[in-house]
Structure 1
């Protein structure tokens, strides 16, 4: 079942009151269309036709709050009203309303009216239409509202299963909204669960919503679980939410439990803090020993993380420890020991993940080690916290230039939001000018 909507008559009652005699004739006209009452449509149109244009012309051109008769009829009108409006009056089946830019068939989908959708498509409505705002297709609308039968119909009729909107694919929409049946249908019609054009993949969205059912479906459908960067670390998300079954599925599908998040914390460490002992036990055989954990066992890692959490509650300890780690990292960097420097900066970030200098320095370490994606990730995160800091713009530009010079550019750039991609591109061009000057 899809999301609920306020029926149009009820909406008008809330706005105009229950006494319909006080409504404007345009409001009563649109309500009549919504109710599929052809006789009343004609009667009110005759009342509105003060210029003598004729009833068909008046019916076609009368609107209220941006909607015409066909938009309203698409909600729950009968076939007789469609036959009258489309076949006799010849109303445009692809004309969007002026309020939401929804066409009649989009209104029909929003209201879950499958017979109306079929009728309008059969009578010329564009199956591949996209809403001007957001590039939203009919398939996106059906997926967002959870109408599985309409999704099936659109796919059978030839809708593009991988059509992209500003928010992603229909599969991504269904994954984040929580409709396993639609996820299953889209995958059965060969939807791509790894579409690089999506800012966030369907599997990531399913984990964000703690939907193990959708996680399983997506993995069975071929979703990639081997993210090797903090941005797409799926095990991290599962561990943070304590999703035991999702952790099992991801590990069975080959997810790497030894990739830390942006602050150097592994899934097993997060499982201690946010999950259960079972989660830790599941992750333990697949996790490489952590050098700072003296007793490498399930009990040992639990004790270690709990001690870290307790220490983080002591402000003086945190300040002293971060200062000491930063000093050691700076010394390692001066010796060009970038690996140890990055590890030390990571340890410090585990204790203070809002220190932009640590992020900036680690970004430079990644760059010196040839890891442009991590360098760019740290610089971008740092820029969000200090957007006016000149150094971080330089860091991001340097990382982007490195990526554009290698294979990584085509991997990361399409996944960035359009505005951020344009801004980063401009910064890289400015940096290139400085370096070449």
Structure 2
């Protein structure tokens, strides 16, 4: 819901030209409703009523480009036109248009007209209407319509309703609307109710909305999950860094490429960011001079080294070899560390991500394994092993009972490698697995390679 569009008259101009006298009367009728001009509506309806059905019937039955007059009335949201169409013409208040599938009240919310929304709800519009899992509250939160949000909540809208994009609170953070976000929190919105891949603080940081970050932390958002400090440092958001540290965020957690927040602050932020993070950051063994200046010099030297292709190629080769040796010894932790260091130098190497995903898998860390497999799949969407890694990680996360989506991912991987349909049937059984190793053993019998890659 709530996709911003051109005003209806502008849309008609694009299709019909600017000379309104040449527009079909149906288009002029709908435009009159957009402007809330009841007299013009009646005038054009009389022109259209060649069959003698009467003006109310003609008004109710006329559409253009999938919209009727009650849908178009949301353009300016003027109450006289609503009173005429609902109380005199008796139009269906629940009927969606066939252009974007919105009901009249959804149009009113989209355009931000609170009096129109109140009128329509008072006359039977559905407060809890869902369109693709989105509610009226989702739409209002997306557009930062604080007064509409407040009104909908006062009428009983579900503050934590889940849609495919998350809760209204997540959408307010995504669009960077602190006033709307504050109202939702005041009405009991749960900042830790997640639906999707990202936590709500990450969403606010993506928008660089420090105000939203502060409000979310004050509202009880969890700062210990995702590496919010790394994102704040990468964006140079000094006040967000301070706020996160005060709330207890851990500055010693690396991002998926092995970079600490303080290292990201050197590369993307300011010296002030480095100085803020330094007292909270544990010494890095590879930094000889552990000081503000020392870490800055160290990171700047690493950046310079990355400009030397020969150095990068040799360093990555050495790290891969060290990782391979650690893996053979079943030292998966150190193997993952070596792969992380290699990814720090080349974060577009799908095999490095695949191999580190396997390390996480062997250590029983399904979430990290899944994250790496997902990134690997983005880089190499036609590589079967990426799908296998992702499916295996999903199964590990979900325990002994494997769902259809997990096997769909594994099945796609097997199919890409040309395995037989009999084998697909065997691994596609949806039921309890006594041990995760049992599935791994089944997969070893196919052309899927579980061996470690160099």
Q: Provide TM-score, normalisation by structure 1.
A: 0.89
2:232·2:238 contact (CA, 8 Å) conserved in 1?
A: yes
Deviation digits for residues 143-197 of structure 1 (CA, Å, limit 9, x no counterpart): 2222211111111111111122222221111112121100101111111111122
Q: Which residue of 2 aligns with 1:182?
A: 180
Q: Which residue of 1 aligns with 2:62?
A: 62
1:169·1:198 contact (CA, 8 Å) conserved in 2?
A: no
Deviation digits for residues 195-248 of structure 1 (CA, Å, limit 9, x no counterpart): 122332331111011111111011111111111xxxx32111100001111001
Select between 295-304 and 151-160 the one with higher mean Cα deviation: 295-304
Distance 1:424 1:286, change over 3 A: farther
Distance 1:136 1:421, change over 3 A: farther
State how 1:236-251 maps to structure 2 within 5 Å.
Answer: 236-251=230-245
Select between 51-60 and 305-314 the one with higher mean Cα deviation: 51-60
Alpha-carbon shift at residue 397 of structure 1 (Å): 2.6
CA distance in 1, matches of 2:145, 2:60: 29
State how 1:286-365 maps to structure 2 within 5 Å.
Answer: 286-365=280-359
Distance 1:77 1:302, change over 3 A: closer
Distance 1:12 1:339, change over 3 A: closer
Q: Which residue of 1 aligns with 2:171?
A: 173
Q: Which residue of 2 aligns with 1:416?
A: none
CA distance in 1, matches of 2:440, 2:269: 49
CA distance in 2, matches of 1:198, 1:332: 34
1:127·1:138 contact (CA, 8 Å) conserved in 2?
A: yes
Alpha-carbon shift at residue 4 of structure 1 (Å): 7.8
Q: Which residue of 1 aligns with 2:44?
A: 44
Alpha-carbon shift at residue 425 of structure 1 (Å): 7.2
Q: Which runs of 5+ in 2 are unaligned?
A: 414-426, 429-437, 446-454
Equivalent in 147, 154, 167 of residue 152 of structure 2: 154
2:33·2:73 contact (CA, 8 Å) conserved in 1?
A: yes
CA distance in 2, matches of 1:170, 1:76: 24
CA RMSD of aligned residues (A): 2.5
Alpha-carbon shift at residue 301 of structure 1 (Å): 1.2
1:168·1:199 contact (CA, 8 Å) conserved in 2?
A: no
Q: Which runs of 5+ in 1 are unaligned?
A: 414-418
Q: Which residue of 1 aligns with 2:424?
A: none
Select between 41-50 and 168-177 the one with higher mean Cα deviation: 41-50
**1:128 is paired with a residue of what secondary structure?**
coil
2:392·2:406 contact (CA, 8 Å) conserved in 1?
A: no
2:141·2:180 contact (CA, 8 Å) conserved in 1?
A: yes
Distance 1:30 1:279, change over 3 A: same
Deviation digits for residues 29-80 of structure 1 (CA, Å, limit 9, x no counterpart): 1122223232332232222122333322211110111111111122225333
Equivalent in 396, 418, 423 of residue 402 of structure 1: 396
Q: Is 1:268 matched up with 2:272?
A: no
Select between 244-253 and 338-347 the one with higher mean Cα deviation: 338-347
Q: Which residue of 2 aligns with 1:128?
A: 128
State how 1:79-98 maps to structure 2 within 5 Å.
Answer: 79-98=79-98
CA distance in 2, matches of 1:291, 1:20: 74
Q: Which residue of 2 aligns with 1:53?
A: 53
Alpha-carbon shift at residue 128 of structure 1 (Å): 0.9
Distance 1:420 1:277, change over 3 A: farther
Alpha-carbon shift at residue 281 of structure 1 (Å): 1.4
2:36·2:78 contact (CA, 8 Å) conserved in 1?
A: yes
CA distance in 2, matches of 1:220, 1:245: 14
Distance 1:16 1:172, change over 3 A: same
Q: Which residue of 1 aligns with 2:206?
A: 208
Q: Which residue of 2 aligns with 1:115?
A: 115
Q: Provide TM-score, normalisation by structure 2.
A: 0.86
Distance 1:53 1:376, change over 3 A: same
1:238·1:246 contact (CA, 8 Å) conserved in 2?
A: yes
Alpha-carbon shift at residue 420 of structure 1 (Å): 7.9
2:165·2:195 contact (CA, 8 Å) conserved in 1?
A: no
